[in-house]
Amino acid sequence: MESVRIKDDFIKLGQLLKLAGFVDSGVEAKIMIQDGLVKVNGEVDLRRGRKVVSGDIVEYQGKKVKVE
């Protein structure tokens, strides 16, 4: 599992997908989230603006990243 370090207290889910390299654009992130392809801490989350914080694990297409 890879790690992504954030500078602030949280990062929005769509931004994290771009930062982790899972998607190339915000539009692509929006579609993947709305289609139910992204999990946060093991549960599907359909909110692009979901605040992801340190310790959360985000999964997309079998790849996982931990937020630090």
- 1 has a pLDDT exceeding 90: no
Quickly state the pLDDT bin for 5 (edges 50, 70, 90): very high
The string of pLDDT tens digits covering residues 8-21 is: 999 999 999 999 99
The domain that contains 12 carries what CATH number?
3.10.290.10
Pinpoint the alpha helices (H) of the chain. Answer: 13-19, 26-34
- 48 has a pLDDT exceeding 90: no
The domain of 45 spans 2-67
- Cβ proximity of 6 and 65 under 8 Å: no
Token pair belonging to 6: 């954030």
The b-or-e profile of 16-36 (16+ CB within 10 A means b, else e) is bbbebebbeeeeebeebbeee
Number of folded domains that form the chain: 1
Considering only residues 13 and 1, tell me which one the structure prediction assigns the higher pLDDT.
13
